[in-house]
Chain A
Amino acid sequence: MAKAITHTPERSQTNIANWILLIVSVAMFTVLAISVPHLIGEQGWFHGAQAGEKFLYVALIAYLGASVLYGSSVALRRVELFDGAVLLSRSGFLLHTLAILIRWSSSGHAPLSDIYEMVLVFSWAVVAAHTVAEWKLKLTFLGAITLPIAALALILMQVLPGEIRPLVPALQSTWLQIHVTLAMLSYAGFTISFAVALLYLVKDGVTSRSFLSWCAALAVGVYGTIVATCVNGSMALTMAAWDPVSHEKVMLAPRKALMVPLEALGWPFVIALVLAIATLALNLMATYSERPENWDKTARWAFLAAVAIQILAIVLLLVSVNGGSHYLAQYSQSFRVRLVDSPFLLAGVATVLFASIAWKVLDWKYDSIAGYLPSRDSLDDLIYKTVAISFPLLTFMIIAGAYWANRTWGSYWSWDPKEDWALITWVTYAGYLHMRLTRGWRGRRSAYFAIIGFGIVMFTFFGVTYLLPGLHAYA
């Protein structure tokens, strides 16, 4: 009898693992089955460059499945899920590699020449770095963060303009390949250090309330930017008009596109922003209150409501964008809009959603996750090691870029925004390495630094491209 009692929880745990495996497989097969007609399309599966995008789509499904399995294997401490996750992430990686090779062969140049191709290679490099780290260092937990990042990148790619364009003269150089490959490798390395830094904070006992505050702060940042830039006075979300004939945005003046207001769509974004701010405020109250539980509970509900509104917002947006053209009385003409022209909006919303899911999982299984992770010291060591590997790559990337610029623009340094931000990233991590090597900075400070550094890397990668265009106009 006693034996039976001790066995029961384990069996139920095994059952949970099996259920998760089953659900993930069914979900993946369903999505694949639904997508088959679209994937085969009118021209068949193998049709030039589009075959690459189809492989990528299947890779995305595999990455999403792997993310769920990695996440639940960490949250539930089930090793059998880890094996499935590894299988999915490796097959996704294979398809991803194939997609890159197909694009390479059909365009005739290495896929490193615009933002679409860079995200393609960056997400590949993240999975590659993850695979190497997982295999060489026997890490079983890394995928819970890195695979969602790769999946997020591939989701973003579904809306980035992916058509193959011939190389402009300045890009016809071997240095393009050296420069961009080094950039993507170092960015991927910093991504791994960011993933480990997050896990370090979990292991170090940073409360789930603090993580909630960070998620809410991220949401405030993203929705604040969206509301400030895209929502007009009458609560309509404005998006750039798209001319399907000329394949260009409709421009009113140089650098001024015609914006189409999508009626009332601003509301969900504003409400999400307000709820995220409320979450932050409630968490602040909880920190200073004598009875934090109530505030805490309200904060959670506010945040969950914010997440629900976000999902609603994105669904409404998708319906509105795909629903046909929008009539503008002042031009007596209808215009179409595309999500592609607002990559920031979609990337921001997707990032916030992923962060929210990660928080929810953490909140739900905090102790289990912390117990699954290795010691603080070895996580701390791993943060440092990944930064120490990536920093020289970043340096070589800057040097290769300077050398190439010297041959193309006639100057090795032009104080172009991209160059400046690469240098800011360099200075940040140089500071980190000095603190670590000579001041012995370890632990939380080191982890926070890795997180801030990653933020700067992502701004250099995407923010500069979309917000501060300069000489690096192509990406």
Chain B
Amino acid sequence: MASRQSSFDKFLQFFSSLKCGLLLLGLLGMAMIAGTLILQRPMAQEGQIEQVYAPQIVRLLNAIGLFDVFHTWWFILLLGLLGANITLASIERFPQVWRLFVRPHFLADAAFVRALPFQREIPLGSHTSEEGMALAAQTLRNLGYPPWPSVLAKGTLYVEKHRLARLAPYVVHASLLIIFAGAILDGTHGYRGYVSLKPGMSTDVVEPLTMPGARRHLDFSLRCDAAGMDPYPDGSPRQYWSQLTVLENGREVEHKKIYVNDPLTYKGIRFFQANYSSTGSPRKLVMEANWLENGVQEHQVLTLAPGVPAPLNTQGATVELADFIPDYVLDGNQITSQSDDPRNPAIQLQVTRPGSTDTHAWILAKSPELNPPNDTGINIRFVSVEMEAMTGLQVAREPGQWLIWTGCLLLTLGLMMALYFSHIRVWGVAAVDRKGQPVLLLGGQPSKYRENFERKFHELTDKVAGALMQVPEEPGEDASAA
């Protein structure tokens, strides 16, 4: 029973040790390196992994999860163990540091000061030890290093700076735990998904971002009123945007125009501008029509939308969009589209006249001289097209993010405290040197950066020595003291 207890103790001791922590950091580091050198499923394209690696290797790496390192159980276990290691190590060491923090060791005697890494004996000369102490205290106070009055009354000069730096490592480690907690909360209660919307449409369904995943229904719906891309003068994209409206029970409760870098947040769910593309069909098409009517040249500008016939100023005729190919190419005798962008549109219009058969015209926007013969009797010219856009929104619910940002803030403060400040302490007591002469014995210790402290210590003690060397006001007393 006893040995079992002790082996558990041993285990606990190892588990809370720095060695274990560094081992875990090393393992995590290696796993991460593997995760960047091997293709990862969430990042790879469909079928890319099977193309790059041999089938046996795919099977092997699949089995140990190396195609998705960052979501395997063992990677999460390593992170959990690291969290546990940090917690245990802090619990083990914190009480001692806390005791020292709230009740610092400020009383000293000569033996204590002589054991400090930096010391200096300053001859008291003609001063009594009280006078010397008071002079030294005054000098240090003037230099911005005030000794503690209550300790001074007990015969020890005690100066310290940046005691908080002692607690800083615990702040850092606690902040890491808070970040872990936030990440766990997001992993268990958060989700990420995707919504694509055409202007005018609304939805309350969020599609999963990765293929095996569940659709989710929001308890409100989201409508896209408009979406677009603002270009630079050279045509490259400057900004993508979507004008969004949140609807709850049919009521509009929030409007926001979102940009890349500036999402919409509603009820803890955030919508990001992630994608923008043309659907390949036009929203608004402007054409110019010219025809001869009873020997008179007629002219009309037509604004067309899919499914909405436009009346022609004559004979009760209407013009309708029959087909739109955004980026046409002739493939044999078939017309196909190379892309969904209106780079080289081909437009088929249908002209309906009451009492006669429908007539059709093909218009090639960029090369009208190649237009096939048209039997409508109307000469039609392309003016402009506005394409129907599809906006892709990334959806994220991250309930843990406030823990994450709190942790990050604490981490920032903690690291600055831990690495940019050193807890420095100086003690001073009255003592005698080897020759039996009375001296003020000063000693100091930093928590880190010995060289900086050494310089500071010399600077302070030089000033104190200078103050003690000054000639006393009444030379008569000097003689009587001697």
Contacts and interface: CB of A to CB of B under 8 A. Distances in A.
Q: Which interface residue of B26, B40, B408 has the most chain A CB atoms within 10 A?
A: B408
Given A408-B272, A417-B36, A420-B35, A431 B26 contact: yes
Interface in B259-288: 259-263, 270, 272-274
A410 B396 contact: yes
Contact of B35 (A165, A415, A430, A433): A415
Contacts of A412: 398, 401, 404
Given A427-B29, A430-B25, A169 B259 contact: yes
Nearest to B395: A410
B396 A411 contact: yes
Interface stretch (B229-237, B347-355, B358-366): B229-237
B185 interface: no
A408 B261 contact: yes
Interface in B13-60: 18, 21-22, 25-26, 28-29, 32-33, 35-37, 40, 42-43
B253 interface: no
B239 interface: yes
A139 to B, nearest CB: 13
A428 B26 CA distance: 8
Contacts of B412: 392, 395-396, 399
B326 to A, nearest CB: 22
Contacts of B18: 434, 438-439
Contacts of B240: 169
Contact of A423 (B32, B234, B448): B32
A381 interface: yes
A428 B28 CA distance: 11
B146 to A, nearest CB: 27
Contacts of B448: 388, 437
Nearest to A377: B451
Contacts of B396: 410-411
Contacts of A468: 36-37
A377 to B, nearest CB: 8
A470 B35 CA distance: 12
B450 interface: yes
Given A409-B272, A410-B394, A468-B36, A169 B415 contact: no
Interface residues of A, number: 49
Given A409-B272, A421-B36, A169 B419 contact: no
A172 B261 contact: yes
Given A172-B239, A410-B270, A470-B43, A166 B232 contact: yes
A168 interface: yes
Contacts of A399: 408, 411-412
A390 to B, nearest CB: 10
Interface string B407-446: 0100110011001100000000000000000000000000
B449 interface: yes
Given A172-B260, A385-B449, A408-B261, A392 B22 contact: no
A170 B274 CA distance: 10
Contacts of B28: 427
B148 interface: no
A408 B260 contact: yes
Interface string A19-50: 00000000000000000000000000000000
Bin the interface of chain B by size: 35 or more
Contacts of B11: none
B155 to A, nearest CB: 34
Of listed A378, A402, A468, residue having the most chain B CB within 10 A = A402
Nearest to A395: B415
B192 interface: yes
A173 interface: yes
A421 B448 CA distance: 29
A249 to B, nearest CB: 19
Contacts of A110: none
Interface in A374-409: 377-378, 381, 385, 388-389, 391-392, 395-396, 399, 402-403, 406-409
B33 A424 contact: yes
B394 A409 contact: yes
Contact of B29 (A165, A381, A428): A428
Nearest to A393: B415
Interface in A406-462: 406-413, 415-417, 420-421, 423-424, 427-428, 430-431, 433-435, 437-439
Contacts of A385: 449
Interface in A157-185: 165-170, 172-173
A392 B419 contact: yes
A410 B33 CA distance: 24
Given A166-B234, A431-B22, A415 B70 contact: yes
Nearest to A425: B29
Nearest to B416: A392
B34 to A, nearest CB: 10
B405 interface: yes
B26 A411 contact: no
A193 to B, nearest CB: 13
A169 B36 contact: no
A403 B405 contact: yes
B28 to A, nearest CB: 7
A168 B26 contact: no
Contacts of A430: 25
Interface in A59-76: none
Given A166-B232, A169-B240, A427 B260 contact: no
A265 interface: no
A391 B415 contact: yes
B238 interface: yes
Nearest to B26: A431
Nearest to B234: A166
A166 B262 CA distance: 19
A420 B32 contact: yes
A166 B234 CA distance: 9
A403 B70 contact: no
A145 interface: no
A427 B25 contact: yes
Interface string B380-418: 000000000000001110100100110010011001100
Contacts of A172: 239, 260-261
Contacts of B404: 402, 412
Contacts of B26: 431
A389 B415 CA distance: 10
22 contacts: A166-B238, A167-B238, A169-B259, A172-B261, A378-B451, A381-B451, A395-B415, A402-B404, A402-B408, A403-B405, A406-B401, A408-B272, A411-B192, A415-B35, A415-B40, A415-B70, A417-B36, A420-B32, A424-B29, A428-B29, A431-B26, A435-B22
Interface of A: 165-170, 172-173, 377-378, 381, 385, 388-389, 391-392, 395-396, 399, 402-403, 406-413, 415-417, 420-421, 423-424, 427-428, 430-431, 433-435, 437-439, 464, 468, 470
Interface of B: 18, 21-22, 25-26, 28-29, 32-33, 35-37, 40, 42-43, 69-70, 183, 192, 232, 234, 236-240, 259-263, 270, 272-274, 394-396, 398, 401, 404-405, 408, 411-412, 415-416, 419-420, 448-451
Given A392-B419, A431-B22, 18 more contacts: A166-B234, A166-B238, A168-B237, A169-B273, A381-B449, A388-B420, A392-B420, A399-B412, A403-B405, A410-B192, A410-B270, A410-B274, A420-B32, A421-B32, A421-B36, A427-B29, A435-B22, A437-B448
